[in-house]
Structure 1
C-alpha cells in the first residue's frame, strides 16, 4: 500500500513500517521500555510529560524504538530524553503570546552554555517551563558529552547547538524585516538547524563512534545530520502548510510555489523527491558494513524515515486506534498512557 502525503505526494511503501501496529513484539516492547525510562527520568522535570498534551512522551518512545531498531541501551535512553526536552523547547517556540521566538533563543543559548559548562543567565529561574527545559536538556547531554570519542566530535556538537541559536536569531530577523521573505533554499538551510533533530542525532554518534575516524568520514556524518534536519523541516512544512498559511508563518511549500510558479502539489512532490534522495544516501552507507559509521547511519536513516512518514502521512502527533492497540498488546497501559487516551 502506498501512503499519500499532503498535496497527493506519495511516500514509498517501506515507510509503512513506521506505524507501530505493524511492528514486531520486540520493537513494541522497546517503545514501552523507553516510555518507562522517560517517565522515571522526567520526575525531576514534570513539565516535559505535558508536552503536546501528553502525546510527546509517547511519540518520543516510538521514535526512539524505531531509530535504534528496538535496542534499548544508554544511547537510546539519552536520545529519548534529549528528544523529549526538545519537544518542550518547540512549545516555547510556539508560544501563542507571540514572545516564543525570543524566549526560544534564550532557552537554546542557555542550553548551549550548559553543554559547554558555562554558567548562564539567559533564563531567569522565575520562568519555570524554560528553566526545566534547560536543566533537562543539559542533564540529558551531560553523559554523551563526557563520553565523546574525540575533541573534534565535542567541538562540532557545540557548533550545531551554536548554529541552532543563530538559526532562531536569523528567523526572528527575517520575521521583523518588512516586505521580506527568505528564498526556499535559505529557509530550508536555516531550518536544517532550527528543526533540532541534528542535535540529538549527532549526540548519539558522538558517544558511540569508533576511534580514529578520518576527517572525511566525520565531515560527511555532520552533513548527513543536517540532511536529517532538512528532511524534518521539509516534511513538517508539507504537513503544516494550511496551518502556516492561516498563521502567516513562512512555509517551504509556499516559497516553492512563489519561486517556481507551480502548484502546491508539484512543489510538495519535488520536496519529497529531495527528501528521499537524502534518505537513500544515508541508507546506502548504512548497508555498507565496511563503513566505520554504518550503524550510526542506520540510526540516522531510521530517524529521518520516522519523522517524514509520521509528519507527512499523519500530520501532528496524534495516535490512531491501531497505534493504541499496538501498545496494549505489548503490555499494560501506564497511567500516563491512559490519561492521554482519555484526552484523545
Structure 2
C-alpha cells in the first residue's frame, strides 16, 4: 500500500509530480496559498522589527519572496512549520548577504571566519539559554543577525522532543556557514579555484537548504521517528540542495561573473571549453536528471517522513521553476499585490 503524500495539501502531490521535467508551466496559486503567504509575511514583518538587519538591502526582497515560497513548499503542513522555515530562510539569506558586503574593512576573511566560529559556539548552547554570551566582534548588523538566528533556533527548540534534533541542526548550519566562507575565499582569490565537483560539494551546503528545512522538520517531527529515517531525510535534503544550487547558478551567472563568484555554469564552460549556451543546455539536462532521481526516492521513504519528503520536493520544484523563469527574486506587480494586500 502506497502512503499518500501531503494528504492535507491544497495542491495534490500528484500535480506537483507532473512537473518532474520542469517542462510544464508553473502551477497556478490557489487563493488559500496566497492567504497563507500573506499571514507568513505579516508575522515575519512584525518579528523583523526587532532585527532591522534582516531586511537590509537585498534581504528585504526575500521578506516578500520567502512567504510565497514557504506557503507553496509547505502546503498542507502546520502553519508553524511553514512560518519557521520562512523565518530561518530570511535569516540565512541576510547573513549570506552581509558576509558578501562586509568582507574587507573592518572585517578580513580571517576575521569573518573567527566570528562564524563564535556564532557556532553560541548556537551549540542550550536552546532556551537566555543568558547566552554573544560574540564581541563583528558589526552591529552581524550582531543583529546572530540575535535573530538564536531567536529562530529557540522558537523551534521548544520541547525535549525538538531538542533531540538540535545537534543535527547545528551540524547542518556549520556546513552552510563554512560553505559561505569558502565561496568568499574563492571570490577573493585567496585559495585555489575549485573544479565543478568540488564547487558543487560546497555550494550544495552553502545554499542552506539542509539547515532551513531541518528547522521546519523539527517543528513537526514525529515523536517516534527513527535515526535511519532522519538519515534518509538528510540525504534527500542534500540532493535537493544540489538541484536548487544548479538552478540558482543558471539564474545568477551574469551577476556571479561580474563579481568573480564561482558558478556551476561558468565552471562547466571552463571544463569543457564550450559556449555558455552549450553549458546551459548541459546543466539544464543534468538538473532534470537529478530532479527525476529526487522523485524516484519516493519508493524508499518511510511513512514517518513521507510528508516531509513531499514538502522538500515541493520546495525544490518551486525554486527550480522560479529560478528558470524569473530573474533572481524578481516579483511582478501582480505578485506584490497578492502578497502585500493585507499590509
* Structural mapping, 1:1-344, within 5 Å: 12-14=22-24, 16-17=26-27, 22-52=28-58, 54-69=60-75, 71=77, 73-95=79-101, 98=104, 99=107, 105=113, 108-117=116-125, 119=132, 122=135, 124=137, 127-147=139-159, 149=161, 153-175=165-187, 180-285=192-297, 291-327=303-339, 332-334=341-343
Distance 1:229 1:117, change over 3 A: same
Distance 1:239 1:106, change over 3 A: farther
Following superposition, the deviation at residue 296 of structure 1 comes to 0.6
Q: How many residues align?
A: 317
Residues 158-198 of structure 1 deviation map (CA, whole Å, 9 limit, x = unaligned): 11122223323433454566683211011011011111221
Residues 59-106 of structure 1 deviation map (CA, whole Å, 9 limit, x = unaligned): 111111111116562222211211111121122122076458556545
Distance 1:258 1:86, change over 3 A: same
CA distance in structure 2 between the partners assigned to 1:108 and 1:308 by the alignment: 29
1:3 matched residue in structure 2: none
The structure carrying a bigger helix percent of its residues is 1
Mean CA deviation greater in 74-83 or 24-33: 74-83
Unmatched segments (≥5 aa) in structure 2: 1-19, 127-131
Is the 8 Å Cα contact of residues 327 and 333 (structure 1) preserved in structure 2? yes
Distance 1:235 1:216, change over 3 A: same
Following superposition, the deviation at residue 108 of structure 1 comes to 4.1
CA distance in structure 2 between the partners assigned to 1:59 and 1:168 by the alignment: 21
TM normalised by structure 2 equals: 0.80
Is the 8 Å Cα contact of residues 283 and 298 (structure 1) preserved in structure 2? no
The DSSP-based 3-state class of the residue aligned with 1:292 is helix
CA RMSD of aligned residues (A): 3.0
Following superposition, the deviation at residue 144 of structure 1 comes to 2.0
Following superposition, the deviation at residue 209 of structure 1 comes to 2.2
Distance 1:107 1:222, change over 3 A: farther
Is the 8 Å Cα contact of residues 251 and 327 (structure 2) preserved in structure 1? yes
TM normalised by structure 1 equals: 0.80
Following superposition, the deviation at residue 109 of structure 1 comes to 3.3
Is the 8 Å Cα contact of residues 285 and 294 (structure 1) preserved in structure 2? no
Mean CA deviation greater in 170-179 or 66-75: 170-179
CA distance in structure 1 between the partners assigned to 2:186 and 2:203 by the alignment: 13
Residues 191-242 of structure 1 deviation map (CA, whole Å, 9 limit, x = unaligned): 1111122111111113322234344322221122122222232222211111
1:342 matched residue in structure 2: none
CA distance in structure 2 between the partners assigned to 1:104 and 1:237 by the alignment: 24
CA distance in structure 2 between the partners assigned to 1:246 and 1:187 by the alignment: 18
Following superposition, the deviation at residue 266 of structure 1 comes to 3.0
Following superposition, the deviation at residue 149 of structure 1 comes to 4.0
Mean CA deviation greater in 32-41 or 289-298: 289-298
CA distance in structure 2 between the partners assigned to 1:286 and 1:147 by the alignment: 30
